[in-house]
Each structure stands twice: as C-alpha cells, then as structure tokens.
Amino acid sequence: MPINQLRDTAAAVVQQLRKTYPDAVCSLVHDQPWQLLVAAILSAQCTDARVNVITPDLFARFPTLREMAAAEINEIETIIRSCGLYRSKAKSIQGSARLIVDRFAGKVPDQLHDLLSLPGVGRKIANLILGDAFGKPAIVVDTHCARLSKRIGLTDHDNPVHIEKDLINVLPQETWIDYGHLMVEHGRAVCDARRPACDRCPIAALCRYAGNRHRDEDKQ
C-alpha cells in the first residue's frame, strides 16, 4: 500500500477509535513518574489489574523513590510476590531507584537513552514513561499494539523495534501516545488474539485482516 494511503488509514483508525474509546488512558494507576516506572516493571507477564492491587501497599510502604532505593530487597519481594517473577522485578525496581538517585538526582529521566540505562527498562517501558509521564511523543509497542497494527496493515513486521519505526512513519505525531492506549482498549474489547470480533469492529472497513476475512467468507 502506498505510504500516503497508509497514513490516511492510520489517521482514520485513530479518529474512529478515539470515538469508540474516548477515555482510553494508561491503566496503570500512578501519581508520579517514578510510580509509573515501578508499575510498568511490575506489569511484565502480569495484568495491569493485578499491578494496581499491589502498588498501593508498595507505595504506602515506600512513599518516595529514595525510600525505595534504600529498602530491604526482601521487603519489596514480599509485597510484590503475587505479580510473578517477583525476585527479578524487585531487583530491577530497586536497581532503577538507586540509579535514578545516584545518576539523575532522584528524578526519573525524560530522555530515551537515559531511561534505557535503567535496570528492567526496555523500549516499551521507556516509551510509556516518555508519553504518559512527560507528554513526549512516543509509541508503546506492546502485544496488543503489535498484533493489531499488523492486522490493520500498518506494518508487516513482528519485531517491536521495526513495528515502532513503521508506525512512526505513518501515524501523525500528535496521536502517538493515544495510539498505544487505543490499541490496548481495542485489543481487549474486540480484536482478541484468538478470535477477533470483526463483525462488531468499528474499524473493520479500514482493516486488512477484516477485509481479507470477509473476502474469504464470500468465496465459501
């Protein structure tokens, strides 16, 4: 598909999904950038709902980043145990907290390369922090975004870095932050990994997968 057509499609997808999910935001509850960082680390292979059950107790026990940095690691582990992979997550949380205190004067950095230097932080979390904590244009490529973007036809890649590059080329920059949240909402509500509900999808007319599926059904 020509790049201009892809850009028109991408803009139309965002416009329609904004109407469908007007309240789409980051579902990880947080008040400060460092809390979002911690919640994002906890969310690996864990639902946001479970993370939101854990973080109130965690942040009540360690209300500042400096207190998290100085915590006993086993105490962090005990509080976050139910989120899975709790030992490695506790190590990443405390390691990031200490690095932020030592290298960044106790403030979560707002540059991609600095965020990527933190333990437990990859491009997905770094872009989430940039967008939701600092309002900087960034695209979060999680499993929903990767799956839906490929189905829609905005990318043909499976690698998150390549998907991000493709989306940067076709999405208006002012939609980058929203796009990730819209993909999560739509992936949970309609475009399931196993059984996408194309019959009730508000963007079916814009979607390559839905179009191919419709043509296949017509041939039967």
Which residues are part of the catalytic machinery? 124, 142
> What CA–CA distance (Å, rounded) separates 122 from 134?
17
What crossing angle do the helices spanning 176-189 and 143-152 adopt, rounded to 10°?
A: 90
CB 196 within 8 A of CB 187: no
SS3 at position 91:
helix
- Which candidate, 186, 147, 149, places its Cα nearest to that of 9? 149
The number of angstroms, rounded, from the C-alpha of 40 to the middle of its chain's C-alpha atoms is 8
The Cα-based distances of 74 to 43, 70, 113, 120, 144 in angstroms read 19, 12, 30, 18, 33
CB 97 within 8 A of CB 121: no
> What CA–CA distance (Å, rounded) separates 189 from 4?
29
Q: How many CB atoms lie within 10 A of CB 193?
A: 10
DSSP 108: -
Structure tokens at 28: 């990880």
The Cα-based distances of 214 to 161, 187, 220 in angstroms read 30, 19, 10
